[in-house]
């Protein structure tokens, strides 16, 4: 027993010692998540949520590395360790070194195959590697791949050792901007809007065991007009008698099922009242896909799907609008570069990856244009779950032709070499293939601002034919042709629409670019960038005032009447122009209890217990209970607080009696609010309306909340006097607690 203990201790100390050797490289700014990285457990989350198996092994962590001259033999010795999956140029790699087009990057590590995988085929997966990759297992070449943005896999079963360690070697060549391949914003000499190169492995490396016959990919297509969900299971090898079964769940309830043979897609008839996905209600169905051969289950994967539709349609005024689920939807969101100061292409943690999407949602946006970069699969799943529409760019590459942005193009398009064109077409198809099943993808963007733009009409038409379920933005801000689904204009810094297309949707794809210096938040400490640059908040304020924008800070709105906004300092503002009134609800923070998300809220489970401390309960504005129906928590209004309090009282009584707790289920009774003197709005689930009668109903409901007939009459008279005399004094109605 002592011997075993000593061995285990040695191994533990060895692992700790190896991890301790890693630290971020360089002195550039870091995110807070950088300090949370454990080299022994880097990005441990399952990397492919759209097609998940239960058994897998993560290969992220410290690998050996070496930089060699291009074309040299694999090295016998290595220079040091690199933290995978962070690019060698990044701080989080622990290296922070640049390589050029005349060099290659070599990785090496050992791994073991779990004994439970015996008799299975073993797949080696790479989330993404930039750019040309060659892979060996135990000195056996197992495969090659070209492309910097999409996942790829190799069956390594035949190369595995029967016992003990296996040796994995990966060699990568990345010419960055010295080659014609897609590269996004990577350049050898970064400046302005051009960024640091990203070479080598930059997404999770992992393995999983599969049967001889297995599912390689799922291609999921919703059709809300036919109420149909089609699931195409792409198999590694198909037999006509093999069955593919698809079960569709709403939570734990089976709501639909379908089967197919002969490698045909499974067509699932969805319930008549199928729930639609939207930014306001991002509902996802759970899918369980099973492959049966000879009557036996040989493979099964978990997935998800959404019923939604992207389209355009001409409205009553003759204007072509973007639509979601056959209804016009104004899509509004940021141009998201997806770069991290410490990890470059790679977020430090999954929490960081989610944070960006969640903050975008919190800011009131409903879409993101993912700018000439492809994210890891989990980022798109986060968008699916939170309800963010994604416009997906093709990463640019090669040279740029002349740019005509304020008229339809009448110049000469760039002619790519056969090699360059082949790279573009291959990678664009792979990007669409790997992202096809994610519900959030609403628009494909083949080109941006003429960067590498060629054969625009042909590429746009091919993109639309290959995936008719999405919209195509043929050239965002680039050389404009009458093809695709929209005309996309760019203007900096202010928004401006200078062209109009009567046959397509006309959109403003980019504007802004205003830079504000924040101390300790700049990549280059003594450099700021932007189409308009500011060095202080005062400069921002002065600029807005110069453009006829009136700013009021730290003031309460006391009333609104006849376009006059009354403030707590006794002043009033004329509001015949646009007014942006920003306010919010913020809970009081408690020392020692970690808050989550905006508003100082405490993350709780379905019983209102704190995640870290199950003996502490939180309700109301301070409680953040995340669910599929309420991904940002329940609304911070009185009804959730009242209902949570009642449920908590019952649960405390049940706990004393030794009974199991009951989860909290919010019963949304709707919301009502006054606007001005004689108008109110009401929201009952998806039904929204407003009018003078609603205002009268609001008065009645509030009067009935008051205890005592005399008090009701007294306050009613008081209200009527205030109404006719324009008295804006504030009144608070308190309803006594009804004890149980």
Residue 719 has pLDDT above 70, yes or no: no
- Give the pLDDT of residue 372: 96
Instruction: Give tens-digit pLDDT for 434-448.
Output: 999 999 999 999 999
Residue 520: which pLDDT band, with cuts at 50, 70 and 90? Answer: confident
Strand partners, 633: none
Mean pLDDT for all residues in the chain: 88
Q: Which of 114-118, 217-221, 486-490, 523-527 has the lowest mean pLDDT?
A: 523-527
Residue matched to tokens 């504005």? 621
- Give the pLDDT of residue 305: 98
Residue 358 has pLDDT above 90, yes or no: yes
Report d(CA 458, CA 453) in Å as an integer.
Answer: 11
- Give the pLDDT of residue 637: 78
Q: Going by C-beta distance under 8 Å and a sequence separation of 6 or more, which residues neighbour residue 157?
A: 120, 121, 122
Residue 15: which pLDDT band, with cuts at 50, 70 and 90? Answer: very low
- Give the pLDDT of residue 573: 75
Q: Which of 67-81, 372-386, 414-428, 723-737 has the lowest mean pLDDT?
A: 723-737
- Give the pLDDT of residue 735: 47
Residue 353 has pLDDT above 60, yes or no: yes
Q: Sheet with 310-314: list strands edge to edge.
A: 310-314, 320-324, 327-328
Structure-model confidence comparison of residues 378 and 720, the more confident one: 378
Q: How many residues would you count in the chain?
A: 740
- Give the pLDDT of residue 269: 98
- Give the pLDDT of residue 732: 43
Mean pLDDT of 465-478: 97
Residue 706: which pLDDT band, with cuts at 50, 70 and 90? Answer: low
What percentage of the chain reaches a pLDDT higher than 90? 65
Residue 255 has pLDDT above 50, yes or no: yes
H-helix or E-strand spanning residue 542: helix 537-546
Residue 560: which pLDDT band, with cuts at 50, 70 and 90? Answer: low
Among 37-51, 528-542, 647-661, the range with the most confident prediction by mean pLDDT is: 37-51
Residue 585 has pLDDT above 70, yes or no: no
Prediction pTM value: 0.77
Structure-model confidence comparison of residues 32 and 636, the more confident one: 32
Residue 691: which pLDDT band, with cuts at 50, 70 and 90? Answer: low
Report d(CA 137, CA 59) in Å as an integer.
Answer: 14
Render the burial of 459-494: b for 16+ CB within 10 Å, e for the rest.
Answer: bbebbbeebeebbbbbbbbbbbbebbbbbbbbbeee
- Vertex 217: Cα angle to 213 and 221 (nearest 5): 130
Structure-model confidence comparison of residues 71 and 660, the more confident one: 71
Residue 591: which pLDDT band, with cuts at 50, 70 and 90? Answer: low
Report d(CA 87, CA 200) in Å as an integer.
Answer: 6
């Amino acid at each position: 027993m002592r011997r075993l203990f000593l061995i285990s201790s040695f191994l533990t100390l060895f692992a700790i010692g190896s991890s301790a050797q890693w630290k971020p490289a360089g002195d550039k700014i870091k995110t807070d998540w950088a300090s949370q990285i454990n080299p022994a457990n880097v990005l441990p989350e399952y990397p492919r949520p759209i097609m998940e198996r239960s058994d897998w092994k993560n290969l992220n962590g410290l690998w050996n590395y070496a930089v060699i001259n291009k074309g040299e033999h694999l090295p016998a010795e290595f220079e040091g360790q690199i933290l995978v999956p962070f690019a060698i140029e990044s701080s989080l790699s622990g290296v922070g070194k640049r390589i050029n087009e005349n060099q290659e990057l070599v990785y090496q590590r050992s791994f073991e195959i779990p004994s439970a995988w015996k008799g299975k085929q073993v797949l080696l997966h790479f989330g993404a590697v930039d750019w040309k990759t060659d892979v060996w297992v135990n000195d056996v070449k197992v495969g090659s791949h070209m492309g910097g943005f999409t996942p790829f896999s190799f069956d390594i079963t035949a190369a595995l050792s029967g016992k003990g360690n296996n040796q994995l070697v990966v060699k990568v060549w990345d010419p960055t901007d010295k080659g014609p391949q897609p590269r996004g914003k990577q350049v050898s000499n970064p400046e302005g809007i051009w960024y640091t190169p990203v070479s080598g492995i930059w997404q999770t490396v992992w393995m999983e065991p599969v049967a001889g016959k297995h599912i390689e990919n799922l291609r999921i297509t919703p059709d809300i007009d036919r109420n149909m969900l089609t699931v195409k299971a792409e198999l590694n090898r198909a037999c006509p008698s093999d069955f593919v079964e698809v079960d569709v769940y709403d939570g734990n309830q089976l709501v639909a099922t379908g089967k197919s043979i002969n490698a045909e897609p499974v067509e699932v008839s969805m319930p008549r009242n199928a729930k639609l996905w939207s930014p306001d209600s991002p509902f996802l169905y759970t899918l369980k896909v099973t492959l049966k051969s000879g009557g036996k289950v040989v493979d099964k994967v978990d997935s998800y799907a959404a019923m939604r539709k992207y389209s355009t349609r001409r409205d009553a005024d003759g204007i072509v609008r973007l639509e979601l689920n056959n209804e016009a939807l104004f899509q509004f969101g940021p141009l998201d570069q997806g770069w991290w100061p410490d990890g470059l292409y790679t977020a430090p943690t999954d929490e960081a990856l989610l944070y960006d999407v969640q903050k975008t949602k919190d800011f009131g946006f409903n879409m993101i244009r993912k700018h000439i970069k492809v994210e890891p699969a989990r980022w798109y799943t986060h968008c699916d779950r939170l309800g963010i529409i994604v416009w997906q760019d093709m990463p640019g590459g090669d040279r740029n032709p002349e740019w005509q942005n304020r008229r339809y193009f009448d110049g000469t398009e760039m002619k790519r070499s056969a090699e360059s064109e082949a790279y573009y077409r291959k990678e664009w198809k792979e990007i669409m293939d790997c992202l096809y099943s994610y519900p959030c993808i609403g628009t494909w963007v083949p080109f941006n601002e003429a960067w590498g733009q060629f054969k625009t009409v042909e590429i746009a038409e091919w993109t639309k034919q290959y995936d008719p379920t999405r919209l195509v933005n043929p050239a965002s801000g680039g050389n404009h042709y009458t093809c695709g689904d929209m005309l996309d204009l760019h203007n900096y810094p202010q928004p401006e629409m200078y062209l109009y297309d009567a046959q397509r949707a006309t959109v403003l794809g980019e504007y802004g670019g205003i830079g504000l210096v924040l101390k300790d938040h700049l990549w280059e400490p003594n450099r700021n960038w932007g189409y308009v640059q500011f060095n202080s908040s005062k400069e921002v304020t002065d600029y807005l005032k110069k453009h006829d924008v009136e700013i009021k800070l730290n003031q309460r709105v006391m009333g609104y009447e006849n376009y006059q906004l009354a403030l707590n300092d006794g002043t009033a503002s004329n509001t015949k122009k646009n007014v942006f009134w920003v306010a919010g609800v913020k809970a009081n923070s408690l020392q020692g209890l970690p808050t989550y998300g905006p508003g100082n809220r405490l993350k709780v489970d379905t019983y209102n217990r704190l995640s870290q401390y199950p003996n502490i309960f939180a309700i109301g504005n301070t409680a953040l209970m995340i669910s599929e129906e309420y991904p940002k928590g329940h609304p911070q209004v009185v009804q959730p607080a009242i209902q949570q309090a009642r449920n908590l009282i019952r649960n405390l009584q049940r706990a004393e009696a030794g009974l199991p707790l009951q989860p909290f289920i919010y019963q949304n009774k709707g919301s009502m609010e006054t606007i001005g003197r004689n108008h109110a709005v009401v929201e009952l689930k998806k039904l929204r309306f407003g009018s003078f009668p609603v205002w009268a109903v609001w008065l009645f409901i509030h009067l009935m909340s008051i205890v005592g007939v005399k008090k009701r009459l007294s306050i009613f008279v008081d209200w009527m006097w205030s109404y006719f005399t324009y008295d804006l004094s504030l009144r608070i109605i308190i309803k006594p607690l009804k004890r149980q």
